């Protein structure tokens, strides 16, 4: 159970980092970022 939680938190961190990159590139490609957000 503990290892699963650590794995989930790591994935959460990756998602947060990816979302941050999406926010930065939103001005360059708004349509693409909104598509990615729906996937997330």
- Quote the crossing angle between the two packed helices 2-25 and 30-39, to the nearest 10°: 170
Predicted TM-score (pTM) of the model is 0.41
- In this prediction, residue 28 carries a pLDDT of 63
Residues 4-24 have pLDDT tens digits of 888 888 888 898 888 887 777
Whether pLDDT at 34 is above 60: no
The average pLDDT across 24-39 equals 60
- In this prediction, residue 40 carries a pLDDT of 53
**Better-scored residue on pLDDT, 1 or 11:** 11
Measured CA to CA, the distance from residue 12 to residue 9 in angstroms comes to 5
SS3 at position 25: helix
């Amino acid at each position: 159970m503990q290892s699963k939680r650590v794995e989930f938190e790591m994935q959460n961190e990756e998602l947060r980092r990816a979302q941050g990159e999406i926010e930065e590139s939103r001005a360059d490609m708004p349509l693409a970022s909104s598509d990615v957000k729906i996937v997330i």
